[in-house]
Structure 1
Amino acid sequence: MQKRVVSLWFERLPSERVLRINPTTAPFALTQKQSNTDWIYCLNVEAEKAGLYRGMSFSDARAFCHELQSRPADIKADERFLNMLARWSKRYCPWVGLEGRDGLSLNITGSAHLFGGEEALLDDMRFRLSRSGIGARIGLADTRGAAWAMAHFGAGGICTVPQLSRLPIAALRLEEKTCINLQRLGIRTIADLIALPRSSITRRFGPNVLLRLDQALGDQPDNISSLQDAPHYGVKMTLPEPIGLKEDIMAGTERLLQRLCAKLKVHDQGARTLQLTLRRVDQDSQNIELRLAQALHDAARILPLFERGVAAVDAGFGIDQMRLEAIQIEACPAQQISHSRTKNNDTLDDLITRIGVRIGLENVQRFLPADSHIPERSFIISPAAYSSPVGVWAMIRPRPVRLFPPEHIVAHGHRPPARFRWRRMPMTTGRATGPERIAPEWWLSDDNWRSGVRDYWKIDTKEGRRLWLFYTPQSPNWYVQGEFA
């Protein structure tokens, strides 16, 4: 069977990706910063009609076209979008590969008849892509090189040998420097190159020129590297007889976990959320979702965490099928273990998971340091399952363990009072340490700190309380804001 290849070239893929979400009829361009200068990375048809082009500096483009709209380019998003188009293209054939950053190659050998022939297949591609707001130039030929040449330099459609020979030298996917050298010698088309002696071409330009020519003509193989499907982290087990006891369900879950964790380890992935689906004989299903505080691929650690959910299962007349799927995964690469490395506290993570099953992982929280000298802003509260206890509070002066909103006390003068009442309790100052002046952070909008500076004092009372007081010089008043342990 004759090999047939389709080449798709998305000439304006980055800009069309953005304009599909935020359409506009004005000139539009994506910019990319290089060497501290913004350059035009991709643009739409209206911008090209205004005289703009790729590689033009953005400042010059704005001078030429005042109504130009722009946005920074996102290379990663463009790659994801191209991969999405590759998955969509598998509706036409199972063998689809990437062609640079803006193209696809499809081996449609033996599948064109499913769409009514090659012309009908190309028409269906054009229709579906244009309906989605994506412009594409399509080439079809016996080889990958010829299809690419037809899409980039030809009129599109089905390529023949005479059409290929009339195309410029650049259609052979050669380097720009090589194309310029060939053109200086008067070799402008592929037909001109074919007419030359092959030995002289190799001697002057190296073997790559003839390799690309032979690949386009079909004399040398030019295979398509198909994209591999993303691994699916799900396993299933059909039981010969229905089960209903907790011990039996846990035994089946253990077998599924071992298979799933083995697949996760191969790809250096760990599961954060697992879903166990139990199908009863009456076709009703029950789901058990387990959210882990740490990405894991250790079946022995995960299995006991399923016990609470399995105990609440209503097996009915029995369960005949079990399915386990990792619906949320994270990278979990192998780590080097040495005597100088602190071992992770796995027991704490398992405890957080057990508590999270009952009250929700988001409700198990920890305090983390924040970069601010204002007491109320020197920490943040974050879910313990999605944060690590890293960093320390960088403080010159100690801070109280308990911190509460400022509570006014009656006192006079700028020195700590010898006696005062706090929460209806009489206090006598034994020792006062301070003051520590804290100024407001002008870049933050906090009404409590707009009044001015605060002078903080650490007060050890004779009654045993160790309080944190502050004085406001701009409006003389004393407040208690914290208590030391």
Structure 2
Amino acid sequence: MFAAQDRRIISMWFPRLATDRVLRGSSVTGPFALTLRVVNAERLSCLNDAAEKAGLACGMSAADARAFCPDLLTAPARPDLDARFLSGLRRWALRYCPWVGREGADGLVLDVTGSTHLFGGEAQMLEDMRARALRTGLTLRLGAGHTRGAAWAFAHYGQGHIQDLAELPVAALRIDPQTVTALQRLGLRQIGDLQSAARAPLARRFGVGLMERLDQAMGIMPEPVTPEEEAPSFATRMSLPEPIGLSADVMGGVERLLVPLCDKLARHEKGARRLLLTLRRVDQASQQVELRLAAPMRDPARILPLFARGVAEVDAGFGIDMLRLEAVGIEPLAMVQLGHARHNPDQLDDLVTRLGTRIGLENIQRFLPAESHIPERAFTLAAAAFSTPDPAWSAPRPRPVQIFPPEPVTGTMGEETPRPPARFRWRRMGFETGRTTGPERIAPEWWLPDEGRHAGLRDYWQVDTREGRRLWLFYTPQNPAWFVQGEFA
């Protein structure tokens, strides 16, 4: 065990993490900034060195920044990609020690106690970090101390000759800007001033959080470094003593790989949406079979038959000696409580998956309701594999099973109150009107761009013809005419 004064913590701060990520390998040398929309305004969120030297600052509106610096180049910020990039840097930092955690959105913290000798000492370790960051185009500031708070303070405010924590400003204690301003007004500008001041009045005025930050930096209150848990890898692999080439043998290997993979998915309450089977041949060439599922699955009995088509098309060459199965697309899939009756899997998802392997999952679509009372706009199309049925279909009147673009009809219309014509012709066929239901008046959606199809009012009627056809007709009062737009079952 190491004593508290023997602990060594290193803080890595990437002040230009977002712009460095975008500009790595880029030829941009002038002012560059990333913008983020904040309260209906585009503001600068991260700048490169040239933009800072031009007088720009984070938080400035993009319009003011372009007026102040006409040569400024901008791009939209992507916090999600920045977080993923920081995760990659965290894995890179594991080369120095196993205890690596995140420090905000742009920093890492490392507990290097007991591992500095592997690099020839702490100074050599810090120099190696700087050199590697410089080669990869990253701006890196480092700080080292006996506590996590001290390391963060030196990384953010200790650049230069300052080696004493007491000489750093009170902002180095990781407190909010309002508290920093209030302390400065009281004449407490450095951490040393705060140490020598009476604790009780400060705690009453600013709360116990200020004293906790001070004690954490000084090592009086412990602040551990919690390493981030590694994401589980959903992959299984099998090496074969003798090459195989028959589809039945490959399917047998896939079955043996699916069982432990699905068991691991079940333990994490996950389901696979995309599986990748890699088959390595004896000549070191690889064949891949990708299976995209219509819904998250982890049942080996359901998944195995879906691989049959892809495996049958594999060129085994002189034989396959290694199989690797990986779930590259993962979605949450909670446990299901089963009753006394045997649970039947959703056969529709299996059917969509089988068809999707032939024509593509995106080409299998379903109708979903849309917020519109116009018949042509009351539905939308979505890929069945990436959507769920919506039972919220609502209509004030019954709608026909088949709807098509309006087609004009010819017939005799009334004078005062238009009713469906007693006899009319449609699609070169003559019809005689029987029972009618209506009218249902539908007005155009004036708040949406008009495409010419919905201009004016429409009075819809359900018409049962004596010939057996049940048609959906509408009448346009502003331009008297009759049209057929649908047919009931």
Who is 1:258 aligned against?
259
Who is 2:300 aligned against?
299
Task: Answer yes or no: is 1:473 the counterpart of 2:480.
Answer: no
Equivalent residues, number: 466
Contact 2:93–2:100 (8 Å) recurs in 1: yes
Who is 1:120 aligned against?
127
Alpha carbons of structure 1 residues 286 and 67: separation in structure 2 relative to 1, 3 Å: same
Who is 1:309 aligned against?
310
Structure 1 unmatched runs, 5+: none
Cα separation, 1, equivalents of 2:451 and 2:38: 41
Deviation at 1:229, TM superposition (A): 2.7
Cα separation, 2, equivalents of 1:73 and 1:13: 11
Which of 467, 478, 482 aligns to 1:463? It is 467
Cα separation, 2, equivalents of 1:467 and 1:214: 81
Alpha carbons of structure 1 residues 387 and 42: separation in structure 2 relative to 1, 3 Å: closer
Who is 1:83 aligned against?
87
Deviation at 1:141, TM superposition (A): 3.4
Deviation at 1:280, TM superposition (A): 2.3
Structure 2 unmatched runs, 5+: none
Who is 2:103 aligned against?
99
Contact 1:15–1:30 (8 Å) recurs in 2: no
What TM-score does the superposition give when structure 2 sets the normalisation length?
0.78
Task: Answer yes or no: is 1:167 the counterpart of 2:189.
Answer: no
Contact 1:3–1:143 (8 Å) recurs in 2: yes
Cα separation, 1, equivalents of 2:269 and 2:43: 38
Partner-residue secondary structure (3-state), 1:449 = coil
Who is 1:390 aligned against?
390
Alpha carbons of structure 1 residues 344 and 444: separation in structure 2 relative to 1, 3 Å: farther
Identity of aligned residues (%): 51
Who is 2:487 aligned against?
483
Cα separation, 2, equivalents of 1:101 and 1:170: 18
Alpha carbons of structure 1 residues 459 and 215: separation in structure 2 relative to 1, 3 Å: closer
Deviation at 1:261, TM superposition (A): 1.2
Contact 1:201–1:209 (8 Å) recurs in 2: no
- Alignment-mate amino acid for residue 226 of structure 1: P
- Cα deviation 1:164-213 (Å, max 9, x = unaligned): 232245534568899899889977645566679xxx86998599888766
Deviates most, 441-450 or 187-196: 187-196
Alpha carbons of structure 1 residues 201 and 245: separation in structure 2 relative to 1, 3 Å: same
Alpha carbons of structure 1 residues 367 and 189: separation in structure 2 relative to 1, 3 Å: closer
Contact 1:141–1:147 (8 Å) recurs in 2: yes
Deviation at 1:128, TM superposition (A): 4.6
Deviation at 1:240, TM superposition (A): 1.5
Deviation at 1:4, TM superposition (A): 4.1
Alpha carbons of structure 1 residues 98 and 418: separation in structure 2 relative to 1, 3 Å: same
- Cα deviation 1:402-460 (Å, max 9, x = unaligned): 12222222224243221222222221111222222222222333434254222222111
Contact 1:139–1:156 (8 Å) recurs in 2: no
Which of 429, 453, 456 aligns to 2:457? It is 453
Cα separation, 1, equivalents of 2:147 and 2:390: 56
Which of 438, 443, 453 aligns to 1:439? It is 443
What TM-score does the superposition give when structure 1 sets the normalisation length?
0.78
Which of 422, 425, 428 aligns to 2:426? It is 422
Deviation at 1:401, TM superposition (A): 0.9
Partner-residue secondary structure (3-state), 1:349 = helix
Contact 1:364–1:384 (8 Å) recurs in 2: yes
Cα separation, 1, equivalents of 2:246 and 2:77: 57
Who is 1:411 aligned against?
411
Cα separation, 1, equivalents of 2:405 and 2:123: 75
Deviation at 1:225, TM superposition (A): 1.6
Matches within 5 A, 1:246-395: 246-335=247-336, 346-395=346-395
Cα separation, 2, equivalents of 1:394 and 1:387: 19
Alpha carbons of structure 1 residues 355 and 85: separation in structure 2 relative to 1, 3 Å: same
Cα separation, 2, equivalents of 1:28 and 1:258: 46
Deviation at 1:122, TM superposition (A): 4.7
Deviation at 1:465, TM superposition (A): 0.8
Contact 1:362–1:383 (8 Å) recurs in 2: yes
Alpha carbons of structure 1 residues 204 and 374: separation in structure 2 relative to 1, 3 Å: closer
Contact 1:273–1:328 (8 Å) recurs in 2: yes
Cα separation, 2, equivalents of 1:64 and 1:234: 48
Partner-residue secondary structure (3-state), 2:236 = strand
Cα separation, 1, equivalents of 2:46 and 2:421: 71
Contact 1:238–1:321 (8 Å) recurs in 2: yes
RMSD: 4.3
Alpha carbons of structure 1 residues 431 and 348: separation in structure 2 relative to 1, 3 Å: same
Partner-residue secondary structure (3-state), 2:479 = coil
Contact 2:462–2:473 (8 Å) recurs in 1: yes
Contact 1:50–1:65 (8 Å) recurs in 2: no
